[in-house]
Structure 1
């Protein structure tokens, strides 16, 4: 969910010009655009390789050190059913994986740990787990293990966020979820085979079916309500991926050793060390050879590209950053979002805040072209991204006009607008720490909103670290009015997991009848017709653009530095097994 390019000196200059640009009139804004590309060197993102060029033979006994770039410890919820933050997911990718692989269009294939087939009526999916797929304690991965994952996800004792509309479409799941049945009638297990029968056909079964099993024999003695906090998840996790967890220093580091029984064959590395590295020292650690692989933030890109021992890989990420409005809270008992905060109920206020910020210049100057304005919450990696929906362009005069029309007027002539009732109107803005750009970017947005007369202030006068920031959102802290965050999106184009009425990940708590209707159409039987699905999601994106429950701010090129001794690293591999292919061709220096 984090889910990147200047040295510190140049960054300060670029940020200064951004802050000045927020105050410019139309003539000055035009002048700024004419100078585009002259005062700031842009990155040609088409030149990034996506795979390491080192084709040498990996040495025996190779060891790699992976830098988990973060200014906060990883939480340590090391299971896909329960984790919520990307740092934990980075740990999980070394030792566990999903049963089905995907192709370049994120559609399931039969190349992974299991194969699948769909019935003629598209209502039944059958997975067959391959014979050589075993857990790292030697026990076979079975259909019962995948069934157990669904029994956990659908349980009333499951407090995570991954039970969604698609799961509810399985026959018998709603009855099980309500506590009216002890099993899920639509799931049948026969050894290594498992069958799912849905109440209606759903096109997302080829991209979004949950295929992550849980080791039933290992975990089932722990009550579901206690699984997330158990040592079997946090301290001694078992997967069936290429590496086994050997030792965990909670929140700081993990030692992995090769799993010789991995179903694709023994990994090319004997061991891996994962350790948390502060963003401010990540490039220096790459230069020194202390780490072999690490993401590169935009503010350190210039330093990284100058390194002789490091190759930079890049791709357009399955992610977007956004500014969200808080509309209410999540009702745990009803398992649905409730809009009971009227502060941002007038969409003209939300639209005005979108027009008031200049994301084009943010991407060009703060991120040196590594980020670009987002037009939607469906990323450009997908054919479902509606190119006809344009990003909100920087137009402070239009923002002011919308605010005037909505009744947000400066009645006491202090330069800041009061609400339509003439009362003080203050907006608390929550934003998270991480990298040199985080605070200047937050202050930049605040200044631009103030330029159109809105009193926006950083919540608590500071940035919040990753875990505490998302805790504010999940618990619907009433002090948060708006927030800046990012989502890494899944390979399934269905956005229900973030946007539905019941989605716990819907942190804005925005609900809308038309939204419900279009999300349902997107996973309907009619949506097997690809054009129908494209048309549906086009209409949905138009709705989001008009209603502005969030302001999509930036899509991004994400970059990673890889030591030149590393071979076989594929940055486009979205599935975890990429680590199986990775080796080193010489010892670390």
Structure 2
């Protein structure tokens, strides 16, 4: 690809994304897409969001940006809540973390070297700039001179290259290694022990790094570049296999972000102070404390001013608290969806890829599709979440309107069809106990893993179990109870150890800026918890990042086909798309939840103490 054609492809991609986003932001009842008039402004933020006559709310009625009221004081501290019923894991480094709560903590003290815009495209406004080569395969990155680690050492090209070397190391214990890395020249040879260095990663000088990819792909523009450095002067003497459990990750993490870690209460809280040497400028706040808040007490914590804001508010609690007087609720369509997954294999740690197993209990696609037909996710969204979650149709959510296939209706709720599919596939009740046996006449008990957390967790799991019972399937909660967050992900295979007792599971994914599904559903993706793989899936994922897919229309067609293919195969099925609601105390200024917002250093408060609700 010539430089001219690369530039033309980049321009075309940006233009189509802008047009698609503008079209989507017109609003749509079916997709739940947010209204552009409310985003990036304070319009309508002085009035309460009201439910319609049927008691349903719309994400269209919320703004992403906090209204500023009053005059900011100098300094002050912010209290940020992680809404969870479990301890955070404490893997506090971008190169090793795997849980969302750890990421919520890391964002305050460390950050990406590359910034992204509202269309998820990398920009040159971050801590580093980039310049692609004529063929789009080579990227030259330049780290700004004033970007320094919290200990005063400069963030260097060596640090960025070191992150690639650690993730590519055969002993790397994290979950990041995948096609974003194997696309780098020389990475597989390095990973396999056939080379002592990565030929495609070159340190040009102290602040300049050059990375060469095997193929130019559209994903390189939106998330296919690893943008996080790792301080070599701190980690170089730590064996790679030990890094994830090291004090440098667990007890004394550093970054180059707006705040510095001061103290950690493992699993409970992290206290940070401002980084006066932050590259964008000295933060307005003196410090930030991030603490765990149980979903059952989050309302009290907000009303009393114990926390100023939280990572995400349980939307099922919103109707009873919409008029909380000391906060403003922000909202947007979340980059996430919940889903039901089916265990179809295991993780092959030696080959570092999934190993499908046709003997698995859920191997029959007819059984999986019947279970999708049996659940009414429209009703779930309305009855459990008052319209702030809604029926999901495909595995690309409407937060990415340029690639979400809004015309694909997914699989409709039809319990009679579910029964017919099961009958035709040979799942019948042979002993009159009310439950279907397998086509071989064996008892069929399906073990269902679902997470604890929030008031709706248990009734929601019970609803699904009852819906499946209505079509004759005996589904039981794993161990007879809900699983706490860390235990749940350990048992479904986050560490590569798939618990054989798990047959199906209810999880949730936050999707990244790049909509390429390889990181969740690729053959070599550890996060592919269903352990599904097929040649057709491989082909579609590869085509989605091919040179032809620089043509956005072609890429859209590929992903539309992939969305339908996953509906046909049903290794997982999406249940709900989600509204993200975030209450922010009235004393807080300059706060936003917009996807492209990166101004944590600019947050201010108008008083030393957070006002309580009246």
Matches of 1:56 and 1:198 in 2, distance apart?
A: 51
Where 1:486 maps in the other structure, the secondary structure is strand
Partner in structure 2 of residue 201 of structure 1: 216
Partner in structure 2 of residue 351 of structure 1: 369
1:327-354 per-position Cα deviation (integer Å, ceiling 9, x unaligned):
1110101101001243222211111000
* Gap runs ≥5 in structure 1: 1-36
Partner in structure 1 of residue 318 of structure 2: 301
* Gap runs ≥5 in structure 2: 1-50
Matches of 2:162 and 2:71 in 1, distance apart?
A: 41
Partner in structure 2 of residue 26 of structure 1: none
Where 1:226 maps in the other structure, the secondary structure is helix
1:488 aligns to 2:510 (yes or no): yes
Matches of 1:505 and 1:419 in 2, distance apart?
A: 29
Partner in structure 2 of residue 380 of structure 1: 398
Matches of 2:283 and 2:410 in 1, distance apart?
A: 44
Shift of 1:197: 0.8
Partner in structure 2 of residue 451 of structure 1: 470
Partner in structure 2 of residue 133 of structure 1: 147
Matches of 2:63 and 2:526 in 1, distance apart?
A: 37
Partner in structure 1 of residue 44 of structure 2: none
Matches of 1:371 and 1:349 in 2, distance apart?
A: 26
User: Is the 2:403–2:556 contact (alpha carbons within 8 Å) kept by the matching residues of 1?
Assistant: yes
Partner in structure 1 of residue 442 of structure 2: 423
User: Is the 1:296–1:304 contact (alpha carbons within 8 Å) kept by the matching residues of 2?
Assistant: no
Partner in structure 1 of residue 333 of structure 2: 316
Equivalent residue runs for 1:207-286 within 5 Å: 207-208=222-223, 209-286=225-302
Match of residue 47, structure 1, among 56, 61, 67 = 61
Partner in structure 2 of residue 25 of structure 1: none
Partner in structure 1 of residue 384 of structure 2: 366
1:153 aligns to 2:167 (yes or no): yes
Shift of 1:306: 2.1
Partner in structure 2 of residue 546 of structure 1: 568
Partner in structure 2 of residue 406 of structure 1: 425
User: Is the 1:78–1:92 contact (alpha carbons within 8 Å) kept by the matching residues of 2?
Assistant: yes
1:488-507 per-position Cα deviation (integer Å, ceiling 9, x unaligned):
11101111011111111101
> TM-score normalised to the size of structure 1?
0.92
Moved more, 335-344 or 348-357: 335-344
Matches of 1:65 and 1:489 in 2, distance apart?
A: 26
Equivalent residue runs for 1:493-508 within 5 Å: 493-508=515-530
Matches of 1:177 and 1:306 in 2, distance apart?
A: 55
Moved more, 227-236 or 565-574: 565-574
Kindly indicate whether structure 1 or structure 2 has the higher relative contact order, using CA contacts under 8 Å at least 6 residues apart.
Answer: 1
> TM-score normalised to the size of structure 2?
0.88
- Relative distance call for 1:114 and 1:56 in structure 2 (3 A) is farther
Shift of 1:581: 1.9
Shift of 1:61: 2.1
Where 1:412 maps in the other structure, the secondary structure is coil
Partner in structure 1 of residue 178 of structure 2: 164
Shift of 1:317: 0.6
Partner in structure 2 of residue 460 of structure 1: 479
Say what the alpha-carbon RMSD is for the aligned residues: 1.3
Match of residue 207, structure 2, among 157, 182, 192 = 192
Shift of 1:58: 2.4
Partner in structure 2 of residue 27 of structure 1: none
Partner in structure 1 of residue 138 of structure 2: 124
Where 1:403 maps in the other structure, the secondary structure is helix
1:239-266 per-position Cα deviation (integer Å, ceiling 9, x unaligned):
0000000000111011100001101101
Moved more, 323-332 or 190-199: 190-199
1:96 aligns to 2:110 (yes or no): yes
- Relative distance call for 1:56 and 1:115 in structure 2 (3 A) is farther
1:219-254 per-position Cα deviation (integer Å, ceiling 9, x unaligned):
111111100000000100010000000000111011
Matches of 2:72 and 2:345 in 1, distance apart?
A: 54
Match of residue 519, structure 1, among 541, 564, 574 = 541
Partner in structure 1 of residue 46 of structure 2: none
1:63 aligns to 2:81 (yes or no): no
Partner in structure 1 of residue 591 of structure 2: 569
Where 1:204 maps in the other structure, the secondary structure is helix
Shift of 1:290: 0.8
Shift of 1:56: 4.2
Matches of 1:89 and 1:429 in 2, distance apart?
A: 27
Matches of 1:304 and 1:188 in 2, distance apart?
A: 54
Partner in structure 2 of residue 336 of structure 1: 353
Matches of 2:54 and 2:266 in 1, distance apart?
A: 42
Shift of 1:429: 0.4
1:558-580 per-position Cα deviation (integer Å, ceiling 9, x unaligned):
101110000011111456x3321
Matches of 2:395 and 2:104 in 1, distance apart?
A: 23
Superposition misfits of 4+ residues, deviation over 6 angstroms: none
Where 1:296 maps in the other structure, the secondary structure is coil
User: Is the 2:118–2:596 contact (alpha carbons within 8 Å) kept by the matching residues of 1?
Assistant: no
Matches of 2:342 and 2:418 in 1, distance apart?
A: 17
User: Is the 1:283–1:303 contact (alpha carbons within 8 Å) kept by the matching residues of 2?
Assistant: no
1:367-392 per-position Cα deviation (integer Å, ceiling 9, x unaligned):
11010111111111211111232132
User: Is the 1:40–1:365 contact (alpha carbons within 8 Å) kept by the matching residues of 2?
Assistant: no
Where 1:534 maps in the other structure, the secondary structure is helix
User: Is the 1:304–1:310 contact (alpha carbons within 8 Å) kept by the matching residues of 2?
Assistant: no
Shift of 1:39: 8.1
Shift of 1:40: 4.6
